[in-house]
Amino acid sequence: MKHTAQLFCASNLIAFSLLFSSVTHSAQWQGPLDGIQNTFLKPKYQEYHLSSEALSKQAEVLCATPNANNLDKTRAAFTQNMLDWQEVQWLNFGPVSYFMRFYGFEFWPDKKGLTARQLRNLKQDIDQTYQDNFWKKASIAVKGLTAIETLLYRDSFNPISDAINCTLLTQITQYHAETTGDIAFEWRVNSVTDWVFVEEDRDDHLNTLALEQLLQQWLEHISVVKESKIEVPLGYHSKTKPKMAEFYLSNQSLNAIKQNLQTYLDLYHAGSPSLFDLANQTYPEEALALDKQFMTSLELVNTLPVDFFQQAALTKTSATKEIQALVSSVSKSQSQLQSLIVQLGFNIGFNSRDGD
């Protein structure tokens, strides 16, 4: 009986120790989780929504008075909305992941030119676009920023010379503003943990799992930047395809990458304490090295001309020392980030966006 009681006490102590460890580990990550949630997800999606609304209103002005000046203003509104999108593009998680909304925001890479083709089809039967719930059910290729860019920058979709093009522009920007508003609202009333589903074999606290999900998404997006945004259009693994660059038509390819790289640095320092702060307490050398690598990538991308991808299309060359250095730096930062978060105890799995 005495032996049984000792075993019972010992098992209780072990259980308590594990519970205390789990709670302590969870509390440790509250800072960066709150920082990312409150610095990025909630306010950044609100900013994305507000600039979507501004774009929609400016499109209405353009179509009411179609001229070059209003076209320039609409393009400027598009550029701002595109940059706001780049700050949240790294996260395909939570409300944006439902109903294909993430891909509806940007149908890219559009390897077969589906957006332009489907927009032409809509022009042939514009009346269908006025039907109830048409845009909710419409193809992701004709929603969001990719379709808007096509209408604003392709000569064959000039909104000044063709009223039908303007009709499509106002409809798509309005639906885009509504969708961003829906997601901004969902983030206002919910938190990251509301979209975390605990697997049966995991006993981690929700906060730990939530931050782990965010870190996984962050790592995957670095692959997208390195491969899809830089290597593929510049022909690292095949022939040069600069027109496959993101937002090539609007000459915003490089600005999009700049915003992504700045976002990585901001994420690293979001919260009090931030992920950097916590990593610096335990692994100061690795934490500082990653911080420096993020800044190096930003410095390198800022040495490139804004129209770099357009120049690449003309010269058919891309393997410059600057680009090679940038790719190397981004790749190194991804490896360092992955290594650091594994050292911190997170379980990082398969990269679902690898090779996009």
Q: How confident is the model at residue 28 (pLDDT cuts 50, 70, 90)?
A: confident
Q: Are residues 72 and 177 in the same domain?
A: yes
CA–CA dist 142, 294 (Å, integer): 35
Report the distance separating Cα 52 and Cα 187, nearest Å: 16
Which pLDDT score is estimated for 283?
98
Is the predicted pLDDT of residue 16 greater than 60, yes or no?
A: no
Site of tokens 């991808």: 309
With respect to residue 99, please indicate whether it lies within any of the assigned structural domains: yes
Q: 149-202 pLDDT, tens per residue? A: 999 999 999 999 999 999 999 999 999 999 999 999 999 999 999 999 877 556
* Angle between helices 308-315 and 253-268 in degrees, nearest 10: 140
Asked which of 128, 157, 190 is the last residue of a domain, the reply is: 190
- Single residue among 141, 166, 190 that ends a domain in this structure: 190
E strand or H helix at 322: helix 321-343
Rounded CA-CA distance 172/56 in Å is 8
CATH code, domain with 132: 1.20.1420.20
Number of domains in the chain: 2
CB 217 within 8 A of CB 200: no
What is the distance of C-alpha 26 from the center of its chain? 26
Does 114 lie in the same domain as 93? Answer: yes
Per-residue pLDDT tens over the stretch 71-97: 999 999 999 999 999 999 999 999 999
Please write down the HEC assignment for all residues of 167-205.
HHHHHHHHHHHHHHHHHHHHHHHCCHHHHCCCCCCCCCC
Same domain, 235 and 160: no
pLDDT(355) > 90: no
- Give the pLDDT band of residue 334 (cuts 50, 70, 90): very high
Angle at 178 (CA atoms; ends 102, 71), nearest 5 degrees: 95
User: Is the same domain home to 207 and 335?
Assistant: yes
pLDDT at res. 7: 41
65 conformational bin, left if phi > 0, alpha if psi -120 to 50, beta if neither:
beta
Of residues 64 and 202, which shows the higher confidence score?
A: 64
Residue 138: phi and psi, rounded to 5, are -65, 160
Looking at the structure, do residues 144 and 257 belong to the same domain, yes or no? no
SS3 content of the chain, % helix, strand, coil (to 5): 75, 0, 25
Same domain, yes or no: 251 and 165: no
Given 134, 165, 190, the domain boundary residue is 190
pLDDT above 80 (res 317): no
3-class secondary structure, 132: coil
Helix (H) or strand (E) holding 82: helix 68-88
Nearest-Å Rg of the Cα atoms of the chain is 23
To the nearest whole number, what is the mean pLDDT of the chain? 90
Q: Name the residue range of residue 321's domain.
A: 202-343
